[in-house]
Amino acid sequence: MEVPKINILDESNKLLHQVSKDVEFPLSEEDKKRIQDMQDYLECSQIEEISQKYNLRAGMGLAYPQLGILKRIFVVVNAREDGTFEKHVVINPKILSFSEEMIYVGEGEGCLSVNRPVEGIVPRHARVTVKAYDVDGNEYQIRVREEIAVAFQHEIDHLDGILFVDRINKEFPFKDADKMREL
């Protein structure tokens, strides 16, 4: 598999702190190709031989704002134990509901736009139900949990101009960790 050429903005870019606009359908062929490239890039980043060969940081999600495009589109690609990938294309997402249970990623959340180590926890809902559209403009609902729920919330934040580092308590980076479940 060839790694698509994707230019991911760094956290210092002001575009990452702007709110994205809803997408109109039908999608352009350019958008469809970009979405496929994003999925391929994330898949390559999670395959050890490819990520080492091309010096890629492993990523699970990527949002349009990270590419400098303020449209409400993101993809999530998650490696399964059997070597296949669970893939989600999410356009114009709206969170319909979420669990009261809060979780956080024990080793810390990461982001392909944040190229530095970050201490602290990011409180996330353990489960979320999202309404969105696929590449063909078909509406769907999905309930995601655990790591995928974290990824969806992280990427929806990108669409709203929020980086995960913005969600870490500046004075007490591990505040309320005892009230949440660690992933």
pLDDT tops 90 at residue 161: yes
Q: What is the structure's pLDDT at 1?
A: 80
Q: What percent of the chain has pLDDT over 70?
A: 100
The pTM assigned to this predicted structure is 0.96
Strand order of the β-sheet with 73-79 is 61-63, 73-79, 85-98, 127-133, 139-145
Q: What is the CATH number of the domain that holds 122?
A: 3.90.45.10
Residues taking part in catalysis: 155
In a domain, 9, yes or no: no
Are 33 and 27 in contact, with CB atoms under 8 Å apart?
Answer: no
Query: Is residue 127, in this structure, part of any structural domain at all?
Result: yes
- Phi first, then psi, for residue 143 (nearest 5°) are -110, 120
Domain with 175, as residue range(s), is: 14-182
In a domain, 158, yes or no: yes
Could you report the per-residue pLDDT of 137-146, keeping only the tens digit for each? 999 999 999 9
Say if 6 falls within a structural domain: no
| 5 in a structural domain | no
What is the total count of domains within the chain? 1
* 8 within a domain of the structure (yes/no): no
Average pLDDT, the chain: 97
Which contiguous run of DSSP H or E holds residue 103?
strand 102-104
- Please name which of 74, 62, 56, 67 lies closest in space to residue 7, comparing C-alpha atoms: 67
77 within 8 A of 56, measured Cβ to Cβ = no
